Chain A
Amino acid sequence: MAQIEIRDLGIDYRKPKSNEVFSAVDSVDLSIEKGEFVTIVGSSGCGKSTLLMAMAGLVNLSRGSIRIDGKEVTGPGRDRAVVFQEASLLPWRSVRGNVKFGLEMQRWSGGDLNERAMQMIRLVGLGRFSDYHPHQLSGGMRQRVNIARALAVDPDVLLMDEPFGALDAQTREIMGTELLRIWERHKKTALFVTHDIDEAIFLADKIVVMGRNPGHIKEVINVDLPRPRDEAVLDSEPFHDLRKRLRAHLAEDMSSMQLVKEVA
Chain B
Amino acid sequence: MRSAEMTAEPAVRQISFSFLRPSRPTLVGALAVLAFLVLWQVAPSMGWVNGRFTSRPTEVFFAAIDIFRNDNFLYHAQISLTEFVAGFALAVVVSIPLGVLLGTSKIARYLIDPPLMALYIAPTLVLLPIMVIWLGIDMAPKIAVVFLGAVFPIVLNTMAGMSEADPRFLRMARSFGATKFDIFTRVLVPGSLPALLTGIRLAVGRAVLGVVVGELFVSQAGIGYQLNLYGSAMRIDRLLVYALVVSAFGYTLTILVRSVENKVRDWRSK
A residues at B contact (CB < 8 Å) = 56-58, 76-78, 80-82, 84, 86, 88, 90-92, 101-102, 104-106, 129, 132-138, 141, 153
Cross-chain contact B268 with A82 (CB below 8 angstroms): no
A132-B8 contact given A90-B190, A91-B267, A92-B267, CB 8 Å threshold? yes
A163 CA / B31 CA spacing, docked (Å): 55
Stretch from B92-100, B172-180, B215-223 forming part of the interface with A: B172-180
A92-B191 contact given A76-B177, A135-B269, A136-B8, CB 8 Å threshold? yes
Closest to B170 in A: A88
A134 CA / B264 CA spacing, docked (Å): 15
Q: Closest CB of chain A to B171's CB: distance in Å?
A: 6
Cross-chain contact A105 with B182 (CB below 8 angstroms): yes
A-B contact pairs, 12 of them (CB 8 A): A80-B175, A81-B176, A84-B171, A84-B175, A88-B172, A90-B191, A105-B173, A106-B176, A135-B270, A136-B8, A137-B3, A141-B1
Q: Closest CB of chain B to A86's CB: distance in Å?
A: 6
Closest to A106 in B: B177
Cross-chain contact A136 with B4 (CB below 8 angstroms): yes
A84 CA / B191 CA spacing, docked (Å): 19
Cross-chain contact A78 with B177 (CB below 8 angstroms): yes
Q: Closest CB of chain A to B137's CB: distance in Å?
A: 46
Cross-chain contact A88 with B190 (CB below 8 angstroms): no
- Residues in B with CB closer than 8 Å to A82 are 172, 175
- Residues in B with CB closer than 8 Å to A153 are 176
A136-B7 contact given A78-B177, A92-B191, CB 8 Å threshold? yes
Cross-chain contact B8 with A105 (CB below 8 angstroms): no
Interface bracket on B: 20 to 34
- Residues in A with CB closer than 8 Å to B24 are none
- Residues in A with CB closer than 8 Å to B4 are 129, 132, 136-138, 141
Within 8 Å of chain A (Cβ to Cβ): is B13? Answer: no
A58-B176 contact given A86-B168, A88-B169, A132-B4, CB 8 Å threshold? no
- Residues in A with CB closer than 8 Å to B168 are 84, 86, 88
Within 8 Å of chain A (Cβ to Cβ): is B52? Answer: no
A104 CA / B190 CA spacing, docked (Å): 16
A105 CA / B185 CA spacing, docked (Å): 12
- Residues in A with CB closer than 8 Å to B186 are 90, 101, 104
Q: Closest CB of chain B to A201's CB: distance in Å?
A: 27
Interface string of B154-172 (1 = CB under 8 A from A): 0000000000000011011
Q: Closest CB of chain A to B11's CB: distance in Å?
A: 10
B residues at A contact (CB < 8 Å) = 1, 3-4, 7-8, 168-169, 171-178, 182, 186-187, 190-191, 193, 264, 266-270
- Residues in A with CB closer than 8 Å to B191 are 90, 92
Closest to B264 in A: A92
Q: Determine which residue in B1, B178, B182, B270 has the highest number of CB atoms from chain A within 10 A of its CB, and name it.
A: B1
Cross-chain contact A84 with B268 (CB below 8 angstroms): no
A221 CA / B270 CA spacing, docked (Å): 44
Q: Closest CB of chain B to A129's CB: distance in Å?
A: 6
- Residues in B with CB closer than 8 Å to A58 are 171, 174-175
A58 CA / B266 CA spacing, docked (Å): 31
- What 9 pairs between A and B have smallest CB-CB spacing? A88-B172, A102-B176, A105-B176, A82-B175, A91-B267, A88-B168, A92-B267, A136-B7, A133-B267
Q: Determine which residue in A102, A106, A141 has the highest number of CB atoms from chain B within 10 A of its CB, and name it.
A: A102
A13 CA / B177 CA spacing, docked (Å): 23
- Residues in B with CB closer than 8 Å to A86 are 168
A141 CA / B8 CA spacing, docked (Å): 15
- Residues in B with CB closer than 8 Å to A129 are 4
A81 CA / B178 CA spacing, docked (Å): 12
Q: Determine which residue in A58, A78, A90, A104 has the highest number of CB atoms from chain B within 10 A of its CB, and name it.
A: A90
A178 CA / B186 CA spacing, docked (Å): 30
Cross-chain contact B268 with A91 (CB below 8 angstroms): yes
- Residues in B with CB closer than 8 Å to A102 are 176
Closest to A98 in B: B172
Q: Closest CB of chain A to B146's CB: distance in Å?
A: 31
- Residues in A with CB closer than 8 Å to B268 are 91, 135
A136 CA / B264 CA spacing, docked (Å): 16
A217 CA / B171 CA spacing, docked (Å): 26
Closest to B265 in A: A92
